[in-house]
A and B are shown apart, each in its own frame.
Chain A
Amino acid sequence: MRRLVVLLKKEFLQLLRDKILIIVLIYAFTIDVYVGGKGVKLEVNNFPTIIQDQSKSFKSRELISRFREPYFKILAFVESDKEVVNWLDKGKASMAIIIPPDFERKVDKRQGKIQVIIDGTMSITATMAVSYVAEITNDYAIELLERKGGVTKHFFENFPQIDERTRVLFNPNCLSHWFMGLAELFNVVTMVPLLITAAVLIKEKEYGTIEQLLVTPVRSWEIFLAKILPTVIIVSLLTMLSIFIMIKGVFKVPIRGNLFLFYIVTCLYIFSLSSIGIAIATMVGNLSQAMMVIMIILVPMLMISGVWTPPEAMRLFARYASLLSPMRYYLDFGYGVILKGNGLKYVWQDILGIILIGGLLLFFSALRFRQSFAK
């Protein structure tokens, strides 16, 4: 036990000696989480739009006046088709709303039509923007119907209509920084332990100092633990710091679940990622090789585990592949506990997944570790 303590002390010293490393770590858990959460907006916001009003009538102007910020940013009113092409080609505008010359007449005949052209190179946001256009236009159309005097009153009181009352749970105003802030934190929690443990062990391999350690009376499992524990301790503390300062303090996310549970599972999660790091380090010879292996594992893990691609939308292959990714369980767990306030009853499967995969990885990396540094 005393040996382990000494080893841990050595690892801590070695890790925290580099000032820039500490700065990078603090940056990753604070500013990076802030910009990731606050900077990136997934909703349609200030969508660059141009309008070609060929009708120039009262109704067309009335409709146009409803396309407003924060959803749309009207950049220009253009006259010709050529200008529309130009704006979209250059990518300065992402949407053009075209109102045909006979708009008002047609509307009175109930055959009105407007055309919306979107830049298909950025399909997701563009389709969302179109749905806003449709919603605004529909509202306007209903208002026109209502306005049509005589019919109105009696017509609309007895109107067979289904009124949808939507309530969004857990994040009632759909604030994207609640989601993105946590996403960025989870990304960092995933990235940092894997990188640090791999790098620390490889460094000892490259320098040959691991042999020095091996000729001392310490056991190989002690070295193994001493390589993982500092990372677990540092990263888990930084995570909690980020939860309190950034997520709770700055983003004002209401934390509904049990933070103690969150902390424990985060430690387990970091443990399993560190095991991946160790396993990689035992298999490669130097850091450049390790970085490529990490890139292969980390980049798809970050992108496919659920932040961008929801589990239910995944293709069959990805759905099975993602079962191997500890991040998938952690995302489910993290959002579940923090945003939904889920207790053990709902997240035990995720925890089990993290433990199983983590255990497997730990076993594998410990085996590799013993094989490569057998005494």
Chain B
Amino acid sequence: MFKRFSGIVKKEFIELLRDKLALLLIFIAPVLVIFLEGYGLVLDVKKIPLAFLDYDRSKLSREYVNSFVNSEYFKFYRLVSNYKEAEELIKKGKIRALIVIPSDFSRKLYKWQNVQVQILVDGTYPNRAQIVKGYVSSINFKFNMKLLQIYAKTLEEKEKFPIEVEMRAWYNPALESKNFIMPGELVTILCFYPILISCLAIVREKELGSIFNFYCSPAKSWEIVLGKAIPYIIVSFLTYLTLFFITVFVFKAKFIGNFIALSIGSFLYISCTVGLGFLISSFTKTQITAMLLAFVLAVLPSYLYSGYLCPISSMDLSGQIMSKFIPATYFLKIVRGIYLKGLGLGFYINNLFYLCLYGFIVYTLTILRFKKRID
């Protein structure tokens, strides 16, 4: 039995190694992707182009404008002279927000009165619009505090703001985005990449007809499926090692955990994702469909529903259900924990268990589906 099994593994290995160009691409593709994403993906909202419509043009209004311009969040685009010009800029996407300062701005403030400032935000990207709103209010708030202090001085009354909020970020104190992006990329790439390389494994043989060689051999279904899976798992594991090296030594993401623990988790995870590719392969009839299914089911969902770009807790029901079906969800917690929190695998027993369960289900379904039959 073992001899038969090792024979199948050997055959699959030879097949994988024979296609030199494919092999080269298999090792290069994930590396290129992590480099492009590592340098290209910018998730924090900064340098938002901002324009001002200043009807007041006083010293105070200039000071107000400067309080925005001097922050790292905004980039001064220009002063516009009327609404129409501003509208044009917003429609063209040249600016993301406009601040309109009324003509009585300084007059009213010097008279110790309230004044209203109008802010228009481009809502095309709603979450960025909300962040912009937040930035604007916090800068506005600081400016108000300054005014209040001047005012209080004239009243000879010490007016200080009663409550301060002090923020501290654990595990990633400077909130560096590489510490956030790199572990996330490791998880997402290792989600879709093994699926993509393995999703053709069975369906190709179905299309070419060589599957009948398996059907009429004495080998059992599970031997064939697992025997086919092992080379892909090994290739993916080598890729994991490369990607890990890149995240830690090239992009210098913080890594304080245990490498062995991470590797054990990765191995389990990769086995799951390769299995998922096999499942797709066993349910489809043509390579085109398998490939389309793999891309649609693996690439975007691994980014959207794993919790990498937006937390699962804020998703609605359909998103949360989706996240349960994606192995990346379970592995992401482990990876973040090991990379940034330095916790051992013991902390993630339940996630490891889910991965095991996931792998078990995926392989069982594939083996059951891989019945020896002629239809």
Q: Are B180 and A123 in contact (CB under 8 A)?
A: yes
Q: Are B130 and A284 in contact (CB under 8 A)?
A: no
Of A27, A38, A286, A315, the contact of B22 (CB 8 Å cutoff): A286
The interface on chain A, measured as residues whose beta carbon lies within 8 A of the other chain's beta carbons, has a size of 129
Q: Are A178 and B126 in contact (CB under 8 A)?
A: yes
With A and B bound together, what is the CA distance between A362 and B43 in angstroms?
A: 33
Of A73, A292, A310, the contact of B128 (CB 8 Å cutoff): A310
With A and B bound together, what is the CA distance between A164 and B139 in angstroms?
A: 11
Stretch at the interface among B158-166, B219-227, B257-265, B352-360: B158-166
Q: Scan A17-52; emit 1 where CB is below 8 A from any B CB, else 0.
A: 010110011011000101110111111111110000
Q: Are A171 and B291 in contact (CB under 8 A)?
A: no
Of B39, B96, B148, B169, the contact of A126 (CB 8 Å cutoff): B169
Q: Are A165 and B295 in contact (CB under 8 A)?
A: no
Contacts of B124 in A (CB 8 A): 170-171, 179, 335, 339-340
Contacts of A174 in B (CB 8 A): 123, 126-127, 129-130
Stretch at the interface among B108-116, B240-248, B366-374: B108-116
Stretch at the interface among B6-14, B268-276, B280-288: B280-288
Q: Are B37 and A300 in contact (CB under 8 A)?
A: yes
The interface on chain B, measured as residues whose beta carbon lies within 8 A of the other chain's beta carbons, has a size of 131
Q: Are A289 and B164 in contact (CB under 8 A)?
A: no
Contacts of A63 in B (CB 8 A): 163
With A and B bound together, what is the CA distance between A126 and B93 in angstroms?
A: 27
B331 contacts A by Cβ under 8 Å: no
**Could you tell me which residues of chain A, from 83 to 131, have a CB within 8 Å of some CB in chain B?**
88-91, 94, 107-108, 110-128, 130-131
A260 contacts B by Cβ under 8 Å: no
Contacts of B109 in A (CB 8 A): 160, 162
Q: Are B91 and A340 in contact (CB under 8 A)?
A: yes
Contacts of B341 in A (CB 8 A): 89, 121
- Whether A303 contacts B313 in the complex (CB less than 8 A), given A116-B168, A199-B287, comes out as no
- Whether A24 contacts B289 in the complex (CB less than 8 A), given A135-B134, A169-B121, comes out as yes
- Whether A170 contacts B122 in the complex (CB less than 8 A), given A114-B163, A162-B109, A203-B287, comes out as yes
Of B32, B128, B160, B165, the contact of A110 (CB 8 Å cutoff): B160
Among B25, B110, B138, B151, chain A packs the most CB atoms within 10 A around the CB of B25
* B304 nearest CB neighbor, chain A only: A40
**Could you tell me which residues of chain B, from 276 to 335, have a CB within 8 Å of some CB in chain A?**
283-289, 291-296, 299-300, 303-305, 307, 309-311, 313-320, 322, 333
Contacts of A134 in B (CB 8 A): 138, 165
Q: Scan B38-76; emit 1 where CB is below 8 A from any A CB, else 0.
A: 011111111111000000000000001000000000010
Q: Are B347 and A90 in contact (CB under 8 A)?
A: yes
Of A135, A165, A286, A321, the contact of B119 (CB 8 Å cutoff): A165
Known: A122-B336, A141-B161, A162-B117. 4 other contacts (CB 8 A): A110-B159, A123-B175, A159-B114, A160-B109
Q: CB within 8 Å of B: which residues of A?
A: 18, 20-21, 24-25, 27-28, 32, 34-36, 38-48, 63, 73, 88-91, 94, 107-108, 110-128, 130-135, 137-138, 140-141, 144-145, 158-172, 174-176, 178-179, 184, 187-188, 191-192, 195-196, 199-200, 203, 284-289, 291-296, 298-300, 302-304, 308-315, 317-318, 321-322, 332, 335-336, 339-340, 342, 346
Q: Could you show 6 A-B contacts with beta carbons less than 8 Å apart?
A: A120-B170, A127-B44, A160-B147, A162-B140, A285-B19, A304-B40
